[in-house]
Amino acid sequence: MADLPGAGARPGPRSRALFEAAKALMPGGVNSPVRAFGAVGGTPPILARGAGARVWDVDGAEYIDYLASWGPLILGHADPDVKWALVEALERGWTYGAPTEAEGEMARLVTAAFPSIEMVRFVSSGTEATMSALRLARACTGRTAILKFAGCYHGHVDALLVQAGSGLATFGLPGTAGVPAAVAADTLVVPYGDAAALAEVLRLHGERLAAVIIEPVAANMGVVTPPEGYLQQLRDLCTASGTLLIFDEVITGFRVAYGGAQERFGIRADITCLGKIVGGGLPVGAYGGSRAIMERVAPSGDVYQAGTLSGNPLAMAAGAATLRALAVPGVYDGLEAMTAPFAAGVVEAARRHGRSVRVNRFGSMLTVFFTDADVRDYASAQRADTAAYARFFHALLDRGVYFPPAQFETAFVSLAHRPDDIERTLAVIEEAFAN
């Protein structure tokens, strides 16, 4: 692998010029921090178009894409069915600020897929969904405290941008500038996957907790799966303490199964947050739960939440087309059949070249960690060699493979990937490990 990140041939001169110009107009030159390549160094390619499993930058360079726009493009870029659904919606008009038939159709699709969701409210982002879910949980329980897990990300909500305090039962500290200490103080943070810590915190604070929010399969410290029985333990503890259980399935929803992680693990959350795939690549979020819980939301109830572009006709059209494609029998088996040998091939290539890596995979999501120890939580993820990942990332990018530009992110395989894409990617990874 190259000695220094960012030293390769890609991106080309037009991408570099455009990025330099953007830095004078937008913070860091981007509209979401990870896009700036701060974790891996170098300059990001400025993308111009995508089709299937590939994207092209403004210099004409082609990449096999494993970002999938950070997850929502499970059908690949510019999927024809999604495109035509959008064209038809555009011809009718693209926003009304009034009810549409498309909202009802999407609500039917979501509630049919998730038995725990009897009613759903659409918003415009995953952050809005988790923020609204917390407000709703506090209203339903009359409590204020929240429990989250170290390494799980739930959007840029003040109460959830919190780092752990100094002890097991210590409330959190602000994780970013601009979050008041008083806001962070209502959020507890415990290690992901630690059954003893979870039980102890619920014993000490269960009566104060409005909600526990978790990524059922973590994807924002890289892919980390819960220990066997952990989610059921969490479900049981929440039920016993009268605490609402919120599953943040913004990434796992419709990604790991049609009914998300709840289908895979056989566990029902009280409130579910969705996004990404639900909008088919357009801005969207959603939160839902039982009829009794959701009827607290205005205008039916006393929990206010609103959005001018919520249920936007374009997002509803793209989302519905995507969900209909995913409902075809065998879709998820196909994704599994593509991703499992891919992950195994990375492990084999690393072994052949003496590289210390761990590949964590769940369904069509995977992360290559540069470490010689298993990654089971945020602490073990942080011990990964980020400099080695940066060199790996740029070795792939220079050879036409676009992996996530940060060690602690997730790569996604889409239905647009073909066996030859996987073979080509594994050949590139072999070259990267060999150099």
Domains of the chain (ranges; CATH) run 13-78+329-434 (3.90.1150.10), 80-326 (3.40.640.10)
Between CA 206 and CA 201 the distance in angstroms is 7
332 is a catalytic site residue: no
Q: Which of 79, 276, 287, 389 is catalytic?
A: 276
pLDDT of residue 167: 45
Active site includes 96? Answer: no
Asked if 10 contacts 61 with a C-beta cutoff of 8 angstroms, the reply is yes
Residues 80-115 have pLDDT tens digits of 999 999 999 999 999 999 999 999 999 999 999 999
Q: Give the predicted TM-score (pTM) of the model.
A: 0.95
Which listed residue (57, 248, 270, 398) is catalytic? 248
pLDDT tens column, 65-85: 999 999 999 999 999 999 999
Annotation says 83 is catalytic: no
177 has pLDDT over 90: no
Among 63, 66, 153, 287, which one carries the catalytic annotation? 153
**For residue 398, what are its two tokens?**
């220079």
Mean pLDDT over 179-207 rounds to 91
Residue 172: per-residue pLDDT: 63
pLDDT band at 164, cuts 50/70/90?
low
pLDDT, one tens digit per residue, over 375-405 is 999 999 999 999 999 999 999 999 999 999 9
CB 432 within 8 A of CB 1: yes
What average pLDDT is seen over the chain?
94
> What SS3 string covers 272-316?
EEEEHHHHCCCCCEEEEECHHHHCCECCCCCECCCCCCCCCHHHH
Find all residues with CB under 8 Å of 177, minimum gap 6, and list them.
none
